[in-house]
Amino acid sequence: MSTSSNAPSDRFETRAIHAGQEPDPNNGAIMTPVYFTSTYKQDAPAQPRQGYEYSRTSNPTRTALQDNLASLEGGAWGLCFSSGLAATNALLDRLVPGDHVVAGHDLYGGTYRIFKRVFERYGIRFTFVDTTQLAAVEAAIEPSTRYVYLETPSNPLLRVSDISAVARVAHAKGKLLVVDNTFATPFLQRPLELGADLVLHSLTKYLGGHSDVVGGALIGNDPKLQGELAFFQNAVGGTPGPMDAFLVLRGTKTLHLRMERHCENALALAQWLAKRPEVSNVIYPGLSSHPQHAIAARQMRAFGGMLSFELAAGLEAANTFASSTRLFTLAESLGGVESLIEIPASMTHASIPAESRRAQGLADGLVRLSVGVEHVDDLRDDLLQAFAKAHARSARAVR
């Protein structure tokens, strides 16, 4: 099976549409077919055509997606999974009891859960540190550390870690750096080019882009890592079906167009929210008030579609606010064309104990927005009417 060697262009926008995808040589079909087959005809015993013998192991629609993603991240290979967490699982399947992972301390809730509640039971150890602090990362690395694992921007506090600097620290001690690039996407940030060894994605978010499919991926350069991870992809079997692969391939074709509008809308709303009297703190890497704004400006093309803010009136007001929006739908997940709103403490991050949540700076009243690609004026008007409702509710409560 091919990898991303057939790069059609140096330019992202062209690769998004063409990498990994050739018109069908038999009938000229432009779009990669959805290969609904579990098995493949062999020419003689143990002689599969083009390497395909069983669809858990490989499927041509999945191959097209893997090659497309490898090209977008600037990697040599990609491996796709049935979810982002299945990709994280494959990464951890390489480890043995006694191995250790240094991870960021404000991770995606499900990542924290698979670390603590699944793999800790098998004797893998995890240390959580603030990966924006290089000294903290360095101090946490042990001889048995196998990965430094970070998310940038992180979720939901949008902390930005310096990927090249962390890569230097990890490599000085002979460790691999894994970056979850779900929030930024390869259009905004390419960790492999900044020194990371592996990139992880939840394809469920921006890469799928339409909130209609769940998937995950690992992308890298080292062929030895590819072999090991492909072994676990097949041996454990958390692979995507061909329809899922097709839907993500449809999504990646417009990634650059969508991301430009997500970023534009999010920046405009962040600037507007920063001036609202109801809001005590706006967290967006594109604001100069963001503590790592300079690093974000250096390693990202633009600042993403996610933003968080705190309502000065607290949790009650935040709950009313999040239940009062009309265009921003109250829901978990992110990265689709439609705008979503959620309260991390009670929804996506509820699996993190309250004390550790607060210790990490995740306030109970924090509101997270996944800013979609609707007209920005409609999004602003929606937030404005929700502010009025939250205000009316707390005014009644005072009386």
Ligand X SMILES: *Cc1c(COP(=O)(O)O)cnc(C)c1O
Output the smallest distance, CB 154 to ligand X, in A.
Answer: 8
- E strands present in the chain: 77-81, 100-104, 125-129, 145-151, 176-180, 198-202, 216-220, 279-283, 306-311, 329-330, 340-342, 366-370
Minimum CB distance to ligand X smaller for 216 or for 365: 216
Catalytic residue among 15, 190, 205, 301: 205
Nearest to 211 by CA among 260, 265, 183, 247: 247
Q: Which stretch binds ligand X (CB under 6 A): 57-65, 77-85, 277-285, 352-360?
A: 77-85
Residues 183-202 touching ligand X, rule: CB under 6 A, are 183, 202
Q: Pattern 143-182, binding to ligand X, x per CB under 6 A?
A: --------x---x------------------------x-x
- Tell me the DSSP string of 278-322: TEEEEE-TTSTTSTTHHHHHHH-SS--SEEEEEETT-HHHHHHHH
Q: What are 267's two structure tokens? A: 């920046």
- Is 205 an annotated catalytic residue? yes
Catalytic residue among 35, 40, 52, 108: 108
Q: What are 85's two structure tokens? A: 């967490």
For 19-26, which contacts have Cβ atoms below 8 Å and span 24 or more sequence positions?
19/67, 19/68, 19/70, 19/71, 19/72, 20/63, 20/64, 20/65, 20/66, 20/67, 20/68, 20/69, 20/70, 20/71, 20/249, 21/64, 21/68, 21/249
Output the smallest distance, CB 84 to ligand X, in A.
Answer: 2
Does position 131 interact with ligand X (CB under 6 A)? The reply is no
Residues 294-323 touching ligand X, rule: CB under 6 A, are none
116 contacts 101 by C-beta, under 8 angstroms:
no
Minimum CB distance to ligand X smaller for 179 or for 322: 179
* Among the listed residues 83, 132, 189, 226, the single contact to ligand X using CB under 6 A: 83
Minimum CB distance to ligand X smaller for 79 or for 376: 79
Q: Pattern 202-241, binding to ligand X, x per CB under 6 A?
A: x-xx--------x-x-------------------------
Catalytic residue among 180, 197, 244, 382: 180
Residues with catalytic function: 56, 108, 180, 205
Residues that bind ligand X (CB under 6 A): 83-85, 108, 110-111, 151, 155, 180, 182-183, 202, 204-205, 214, 216
